[in-house]
């Protein structure tokens, strides 16, 4: 679920954590995860913010790894400490559908599908983050996945804020080696990008605008899933929830469409699973049930 929430502080305390758990459909034993992992991470972020405010925290994780849920709890826990928090998902920076269709015509047809680097409005992301990092206010964009388009309305965050949580599946991603792009990795690339034009353009954009966007991150957190097979399973559960919540949504995908959609993400996801663990400041191993099993904080 894409998120963009204001930096205003809600009432702290255990009631809010319980309400979050209920709202996310989490079982009672999830409270132990909050205490053992998310509260420890919130303490670390708060400590880092003592020397730099606003502090920009990047949260990386493959589809369905639990980034949005983690950020909801981090926001609540940080606000318990009297810190103001803004949330932004990179999903909310997706280009509008008409813009992606224009990109598909001018660059490569596969850019019509949201997700990979090249399908976000990087300049908008820089403008929003720079405004918040300068201590000001900002209008956060919103993207509706059920209709596959960015909404005309935005959500106002009144600054200054202490912490910015910036989450997304490719947040902090490093470019891939050129030689790794030569051979198609799945059926989608083999059929629709046999010459590698699309994947090379993704990499070029990672090296340029996305690198400048991600350079703003002060602390990078990675939710590390066991492997790409888990991504497929998690993403199917996400789509089922979206279909149940928004059955009228024109962009809710069936099984075949979902498989093709996930193929767009495979190459960069596998690259991040290999490379991100050594780049992240905080590494959280996630099991097949989307639950943390270990956390490493590099001081």
Tens of pLDDT along 258-271? 888 889 999 999 99
Q: What is the pLDDT of residue 5?
A: 38
Range 124-130, long-range pairs (CB < 8 A, 24+ positions):
124/93, 125/88, 125/90, 125/93, 125/213, 126/212, 126/213, 126/216, 128/88, 129/56, 129/88, 129/164, 129/166, 129/213, 129/216, 130/216
Q: What is the pLDDT of residue 232?
A: 74
Structure confidence by residue, pLDDT tens digits, 28-66: 999 999 999 999 999 999 999 999 999 999 999 998 899
Q: What is the pLDDT of residue 8?
A: 40
To the nearest whole number, what is the mean pLDDT of the chain? 90
All structural domains of the chain: 4-288 (3.40.50.300)
Q: What is the pLDDT of residue 7?
A: 41
In this predicted model, which residue has the larger pLDDT, 11 or 197?
Answer: 197
Of 27-41, 158-172, 186-200, 225-239, minimum mean pLDDT range: 225-239
Average pLDDT over residues 89-94: 97
Q: What tokens were used for 57? A: 């925290």
Structure confidence by residue, pLDDT tens digits, 272-299: 999 999 999 999 999 988 899 999 999 7
Q: What is the pLDDT of residue 243?
A: 63
Give the pTM: 0.89
Q: Measure the CA–CA gap between 222 and 276, rounded to whole angstroms.
A: 7
Structure confidence by residue, pLDDT tens digits, 140-178: 999 998 899 999 999 999 999 999 999 999 999 999 999
Confidence at 244, pLDDT banded by 50, 70, 90: low
Q: Measure the CA–CA gap between 205 and 170, rounded to whole angstroms.
A: 12
Place of tokens 């792009």: 181
């Amino acid at each position: 679920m894409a998120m963009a929430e204001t930096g205003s502080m809600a009432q702290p305390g255990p009631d809010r954590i319980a309400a979050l758990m209920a709202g996310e459909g989490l079982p009672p034993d999830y409270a132990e995860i909050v205490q053992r992992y998310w509260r420890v991470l919130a303490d670390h972020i708060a400590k880092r913010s003592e020397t730099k405010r606003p502090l920009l925290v990047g949260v990386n994780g493959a589809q369905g790894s639990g980034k949005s849920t983690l950020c909801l709890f981090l926001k609540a826990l940080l606000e318990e400490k009297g810190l103001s928090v803004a949330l932004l998902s990179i999903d909310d920076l997706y280009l509008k559908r008409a813009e992606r269709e224009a990109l598909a015509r001018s660059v490569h047809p596969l850019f019509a599908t949201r997700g990979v680097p090249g399908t976000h409005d990087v300049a908008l992301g820089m403008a929003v983050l720079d405004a918040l990092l300068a201590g000001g206010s900002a209008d956060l964009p919103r993207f509706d996945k059920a209709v596959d388009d960015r909404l005309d309305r935005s959500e106002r965050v009144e600054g200054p804020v202490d912490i910015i949580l910036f989450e997304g599946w490719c947040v902090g991603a490093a470019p891939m080696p050129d030689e790794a792009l030569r051979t198609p990795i799945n059926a989608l690339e083999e059929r629709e990008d046999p010459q590698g034009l699309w994947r090379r353009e993704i990499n070029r954009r990672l090296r340029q605008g996305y690198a400048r966007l991600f350079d703003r991150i002060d602390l990078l957190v990675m939710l590390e899933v066991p492997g790409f097979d888990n991504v497929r399973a998690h993403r199917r559960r996400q789509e089922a929830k979206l279909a149940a919540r928004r059955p009228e949504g024109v962009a809710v995908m069936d099984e075949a469409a979902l498989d093709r959609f996930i193929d767009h993400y495979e190459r960069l996801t596998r690259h991040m699973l290999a490379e991100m663990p050594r780049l992240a400041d905080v590494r959280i191993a996630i099991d097949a049930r989307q639950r943390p099993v270990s956390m490493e904080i590099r001081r």
